[in-house]
Structure 1
Amino acid sequence: MAVTIEAEAPEAKKVPVHQPVARIALIGNPNSGKTSLFNQLTGLNQKVGNFPGVTVDKKTGISHLTPQLKAQIIDLPGSYSLYPKSLDERVIIDLLYDPVLKNRPDLVIVTADASNLKRNLLLFTQLADLRIPAVLALNMMDVAETEGVKIDIEALQRDLGVPVIPMNARKGIGIAALKILVSQQLSATEVAFFEVPANLRPTVEQIKERFSLNNDYLALHYAHQYKHLRFLSEEDKVWVAQLLEAQGFRSTTEQANETIARYVRINEVLLDVVRVEKAKEEEKFSNKLDQILTHRVYGYLIFMGLLFLVFQAVFAWASYPMDLIDEGIAALNGLIQENFSGPLINLLTEGVIAGLGGVLIFIPQIAILFAFIAILEETGYMARVTFMMDKIMRKFGLNGKSVVPLISGVACAVPAVMSARTIENWKDRMITIFVTPLMSCSARIPVYTVLIALVVPEVYYFGFMNLQGIVLMGLYLLGFLSAILSALLLKVLLKARERSYFIMEFPVYRMPRWKNVGLTIFEKSKAFVMEAGKIIVAVSIILWVMASYGPGDSFERAEERAVAEAEVKGLGEEQTDNLIASYQLESSYAGKFGQAIEPAIRPLGYDWKIGIALLTSFAAREVFVGTISTIYSIGEEENVTTIKDKLMSEKDADGNPFFTPARAFSLLIFYAFAMQCISTLAIVRRETKSWTWPLAQLVYMTGLAYVSAFAVFQLMS
């Protein structure tokens, strides 16, 4: 049944065009199409910052309302009401309630799901009573049409006292009308949806006088939320607390009474403007699909199958562009080194460009992972997954939405940490980000491969179960168990005041909007390169300097000693080069550091050479293999067989094999737990907007790795 729209392009109040709207805030319920509208208004003119003082992203963009006028669009976190349940939602009250805030929006666009107008209007009526100029973007008109909902736009506009724009933000329908409307100077509605009760008037009047407010409802919110208003001084908060105690103010009770009163008023409005023609009694297609996709057995199997597909794609599909990037960086370095020479050229090629390559090589994995996540979210399936997994994950202090970061962490922790943004609750998101790096990522595979091949025999059980494969699977399971148990521990230690609620509305199934998918891929890739890349390149340069220079003249004489020893042993050119590199590394600042930390790592069974590998692999875990290749002068690091043979022949001071099962398993356990990845630390810093979390991760995971590796070595020795 088609939706009847009495006013196709409702006009704003008859006011002349004055100054352009400087700041426009987008606000609405989750799944109301707010993100689609933001993308339509801003396109690629977006940037991600953070709200002052909180670890919550602020997406802003520039929209060309008319050829002559531009406006800044602020995308606020999705919320069901102005009474926040999470830290993310609190930024809304900070932005709207602070009377002296310079970035306070001049206009609010409230997005509402036309097919579920009753629930969506609760937030609108609260904003309206704050007397903020607003426009109601009546989104998802196509869904309303499918469900037989008929809306009298003109009557709704009259009853609400604000312009109402019917639209379909996913397809861009109504965007032009919205831009023209908000380019005009609009005023707040004169319609009141809630009157402050008489018993609260004394409290409200005193708050208005204290803070020089001229809005009763705003003063009431000061009473409800004074503890969370960052712009209030401690003295002001104490004054409000004492006032409320003296007046017997009960916030929870008054919020409930207000919500009931608002829904009574909303029902009165909708009774005149909305008509629903009952659809056929037969079950909707989406409900039938939900019975399969959220089934207590089939639902999990389907989800695991999709995860396997995503996992394979991130591994297999990303390998080709990653190889191209790797080869391109190597070719560029080779070209520069062939035509130029000198310390600055070495710094450029081995420090800057190599560090840049370490950033760019992650882009294919990030792009593919977020492409899948965006598609699953756009289709509506991701909401079903979080619903299924929430009950299980909540026992460990996580959230249903924590599943995606944990699973994708098996490929790479960098995009996995970034994908935790879908978790609205601050506490659940922080715990997820904290434990995700414990999942064994693909960068650990080179370390696992060499060490397992070194000490685990290649035998088969039942003709198909390879013992080396079983050990490798055990390391991955160990990572998962350590992640969920660490989350359980953090759940106890992290005593956040906010409770974790799981409120989710299933959106209807629909085809993904490919423009939104593309914008998501672009935004995530750009954020990683521009933010995390700066730190990665800087650390790569520092590590290069430490490995390329040494104190005193020992580093300069290292080559002479290596050449003399090579002549005595009759080594070839390649072996001589490897010996020179090994001597230089031993004499470098990195080598001295390895020797300095040797007393600390000796209880784990390691010597100074492994200490250097631990240091250099801090940039990325897979660097371990390349480092031991240089240290033990074994040539090409890709030749795993050669590495294994050389390590097996390595002797300790007593002439016994150095890499015993105890040492090898100690190293395996250390790398299974240790935070040996600058990229992950950099992205955690960016996602949390603080150094506290990545440093806490570094200390916790290094400590866990040290204690576990110590226990393994001592027990197996």
Structure 2
Amino acid sequence: MSHSDTPKIALVGNPNSGKSSLFNHLTGLNQKIGNFPGVTVDKKTGYCKLDDHTRAKIIDLPGTYSIYPNSTDEKIVYDILGNKADPLHPDVVVVIVDASNFKRNLLLFTQIHDLNIPCILVLNMMDIVEKTGLAIDADKLSSELGVPVIPMKARQGKGIDVLKRALLENLEQHFHPIFNAYELAPDAIDAVKKTFSVNDDYVAYQMLQQYRINSFLTENEKNLIIDITEKHQFNRDELRRKETLERYAAINHFIDGAVKETFTQLPKRWTQKLDRVFTHKIWGYLIFLFILFMIFQSIFAWATVPMDLIDLTFSELSVYLKSQLPEGALTGLLTEGIIPGIGGIVIFIPQIAILFAFISILEETGYMSRVVFLMDKIMRKFGLNGKSVVPLISGVACAIPAIMATRTIENWKERLITIFVTPLMSCSARLPVYTILIALIIPEKTIGGIFNLQGLALMGMYLLGFVAAIVSALIMRLILKTKERSFLVMELPTYKMPRWKNVGLTMYEKSKTFVFEAGKIILAISIVLWVLASYGPGNKLENAEEIIAQTYSQENLSQEEFKNKIESFKLENSYAGIFGKAIEPVIMPLGYDWKIGIALITSFAAREVFVGTMATIYSIGNVEDESTIKNRMRNEVNPETGKKRYDFATGLSLLVFYAFAMQCMSTMAIVFRETNGWKWPLLQLFYMTGLAYVSALIIYQTLS
């Protein structure tokens, strides 16, 4: 280990090797997410106490199959490991391999080993290896490779203490390259070593191989390497093929001595048998649709009771505080603005928790990889890259990380199409809007005692977003005329039992993020909205009682009707009401009134703000009413028709508008960052808003 005060330890491994689990065990909550210098790729770092005296910095590098990169994420690995001047260049590299896929995972290890950085090889997922009938002799493998080899079960945290002890030991290894690059290109390597003062043959060889994409070389230095490659006839592709063959020959030698099969019934066969069903060209899709159906049924069936309880609690809290606190602006702000606004988001914690619990279980078991594999076949027909599946599926949770995940797509046009259509996937922020509107217009009935109509409607909204995304992708493909195609290269992991602790942590973290991230926006908007809805120009609000008394002097209004008329008059003549009335002519053809218009505008901060806005608007002057926000919206009447404001036509129009509209400033910001300009975010905004308006217009005019 380095003698520096805080040694740097890099974690490197293939995707699905368990690297993230190891990082979480080593760092606990002492971790930070940022960006690698100069690029927008996420960087995870943290700190780990190796003993009472040593605190190490842990760097979780992006998952990669090789140091020859196919994406921006993978390029980071070589940029850091191949450049000793990089501030993140590690003192030790911990290479994590999936021991159940031993041969393929070792390729990356041999490449990093030859960069002459002290290494530790972690054989992860040994619990799976034990079931597969393989026996790995770690001591013999360590002797063959000349590095510490540590068996581990990272998901359970077994082997962590052994790894910490190994990291504390002196890792000045006797270096012997596995692949002798010097034999293949001695003159070119000597020239690079002399020109750039490089000591290691393989580092010089990699500079010859990757100078075009090397971020730590200047243009002048790249030109020098070009001269060397031309002078010494350095054939990059041919030498890379020879390197791969030599490395696998060496890996076979290591495996022959250290890995044995103890019995023939490998549990991988169970995975193969299950995959015949789950990835079947017909049954695979039917099973996936059934799983989706069960998820959305559960969201309504299991969340109804806790949601109603939360809704009623916040409603009663407003009533109680209104009766206990003295009248005034602060009391009104608290009981009519802040509490209803926050209640409008907290109510959806049960549904968010259930949704992410299912997503986590699908990922933990390995089924989500099968979904990506299945959907790849559909994506290709619509001009999307096979790797577009991951961002689109991620978009069901949130469009922001989903758009960032498009960095793995090499072809720029295909990446652009994926970025453009991903926000059409129904994200978790739309879930509150969907559920409250579905509850208003779809009866709570079951078909045959099994199929919940509201659950079916929710599933339909998610499928609508998916159809809109792939049709939009097809249109964009025709406009951009993209012909180049890439391929989905991924590993299907073996099926595993979900680790319930991880599922629970995912539910907690996602729910907390949803509440606090959305809560900040909703709290701010609730305060501003209450002020705008409680005050207005002139003295109409102060004289509201007299004006209503004169206007309806000929009508025999009850005390409750008279009071409602006053509150409606105040709201309509407030700043919020005036603004809503101004945009009402534009949205009236969709079936919306000025109150809905205010919610549409505030929703551009974040879609879920719709519910908080409606909660605030319908609470102004109605705090003594103990009914829930849902019931207040259900009882809202259209004064022109005398019918319910949220009838089937209006409700469905609103659902479709929110399914398509680009109402998320954070998503626009991330698209700006990923495309380096405002051209595509603005096109996205106009396209999605136009699609939402026209679709909602057609639905309302057809059904009303």
TM (norm. structure 1) is 0.78
**2:21 is matched with which residue?**
36
CA contact (8 A) 1:28 1:79 kept: yes
- The 1:366–1:605 alpha-carbon spacing in structure 2 relative to 1, beyond 3 Å, is closer
Alignment partners' CA distance in 2, 1:276 and 1:579: 82
- The 1:56–1:209 alpha-carbon spacing in structure 2 relative to 1, beyond 3 Å, is same
**1:703 is matched with which residue?**
690
The code of the aligned residue for 1:550 comes to: G
CA contact (8 A) 1:446 1:625 kept: no
**2:641 is matched with which residue?**
649
Alignment partners' CA distance in 2, 1:522 and 1:669: 30
List per-residue Cα deviations over 1:462-491 (Å, max 9, x = no partner). Answer: xxx999999999877654432321233455
**Displacement of 1:136 after TM fit?**
0.6
The code of the aligned residue for 1:649 comes to: T
**1:437 is matched with which residue?**
426
* Equivalent residue runs for 1:258-407 within 5 Å: 258-277=243-262, 279-280=264-265, 284-337=269-322, 338-397=324-383
**Displacement of 1:621 after TM fit?**
4.1
**1:425 is matched with which residue?**
408
**Displacement of 1:437 after TM fit?**
3.2
Alignment partners' CA distance in 2, 1:408 and 1:28: 22
The code of the aligned residue for 2:141 comes to: L
CA contact (8 A) 1:130 1:217 kept: yes
**Displacement of 1:561 after TM fit?**
3.2
**2:116 is matched with which residue?**
131
**Displacement of 1:229 after TM fit?**
4.3
List per-residue Cα deviations over 1:81-132 (Å, max 9, x = no partner). Answer: 1122233323323433454433333322111122332211111111112222
Alignment partners' CA distance in 2, 1:28 and 1:291: 28
Moved more, 92-101 or 466-475: 466-475
**2:412 is matched with which residue?**
none
* Equivalent residue runs for 1:521-540 within 5 Å: 521-540=507-526
**1:11 is matched with which residue?**
none
User: Secondary structure in 2 aligned to 1:268?
Assistant: helix
- The 1:405–1:252 alpha-carbon spacing in structure 2 relative to 1, beyond 3 Å, is closer
Task: State percent identity of aligned pairs.
Answer: 49
User: Secondary structure in 1 aligned to 2:426?
Assistant: helix
Alignment partners' CA distance in 1, 2:283 and 2:246: 43
* Equivalent residue runs for 1:13-24 within 5 Å: 18=3, 21-24=6-9
CA contact (8 A) 1:153 1:164 kept: yes
User: Secondary structure in 2 aligned to 1:649?
Assistant: coil
**1:673 is matched with which residue?**
660
User: Secondary structure in 2 aligned to 1:501?
Assistant: coil
- The 1:451–1:572 alpha-carbon spacing in structure 2 relative to 1, beyond 3 Å, is same
Alignment partners' CA distance in 2, 1:396 and 1:88: 26
- The 1:357–1:162 alpha-carbon spacing in structure 2 relative to 1, beyond 3 Å, is farther
**Displacement of 1:202 after TM fit?**
5.5
Alignment partners' CA distance in 2, 1:259 and 1:133: 22
**Displacement of 1:25 after TM fit?**
1.9
User: Secondary structure in 2 aligned to 1:437?
Assistant: coil
- The 1:675–1:686 alpha-carbon spacing in structure 2 relative to 1, beyond 3 Å, is closer
Alignment partners' CA distance in 2, 1:566 and 1:211: 91
**Displacement of 1:599 after TM fit?**
5.8
**1:586 is matched with which residue?**
572
CA contact (8 A) 1:23 1:73 kept: yes
**Displacement of 1:436 after TM fit?**
0.8
CA contact (8 A) 1:311 1:408 kept: no
- The 1:627–1:583 alpha-carbon spacing in structure 2 relative to 1, beyond 3 Å, is farther
Tell me how many residue pairs correspond in the alignment. 684
Please, which runs of 5 or more residues in structure 1 have no aligned partner?
Answer: 1-14, 454-464, 652-656
Alignment partners' CA distance in 2, 1:172 and 1:349: 48
Alignment partners' CA distance in 2, 1:601 and 1:28: 53
Alignment partners' CA distance in 2, 1:81 and 1:697: 35
Q: Does 1:76 align with 2:61?
A: yes
Please, which runs of 5 or more residues in structure 2 have no aligned partner?
Answer: 410-414, 444-450
- The 1:189–1:497 alpha-carbon spacing in structure 2 relative to 1, beyond 3 Å, is farther
Alignment partners' CA distance in 2, 1:466 and 1:263: 55
Q: Does 1:143 align with 2:128?
A: yes
User: Secondary structure in 2 aligned to 1:284?
Assistant: helix
**Displacement of 1:181 after TM fit?**
1.4
TM (norm. structure 2) is 0.80
Moved more, 173-182 or 578-587: 578-587
CA contact (8 A) 1:19 1:185 kept: no
Kindly report the root-mean-square deviation, in angstroms, between the aligned alpha carbons of the 2 structures. Answer: 4.8
The code of the aligned residue for 2:433 comes to: A
**1:487 is matched with which residue?**
473
CA contact (8 A) 2:297 2:456 kept: no
CA contact (8 A) 1:438 1:673 kept: no
CA contact (8 A) 1:329 1:357 kept: yes
**Displacement of 1:299 after TM fit?**
2.8
- The 1:233–1:131 alpha-carbon spacing in structure 2 relative to 1, beyond 3 Å, is same
Alignment partners' CA distance in 1, 2:577 and 2:314: 27
CA contact (8 A) 2:296 2:455 kept: no
Alignment partners' CA distance in 1, 2:457 and 2:254: 65
CA contact (8 A) 2:370 2:492 kept: yes
- The 1:367–1:189 alpha-carbon spacing in structure 2 relative to 1, beyond 3 Å, is farther
- The 1:352–1:696 alpha-carbon spacing in structure 2 relative to 1, beyond 3 Å, is farther
**Displacement of 1:28 after TM fit?**
0.8
Moved more, 444-453 or 308-317: 444-453
The code of the aligned residue for 1:76 comes to: L
Alignment partners' CA distance in 2, 1:342 and 1:205: 83
CA contact (8 A) 2:584 2:597 kept: yes
CA contact (8 A) 2:131 2:266 kept: no
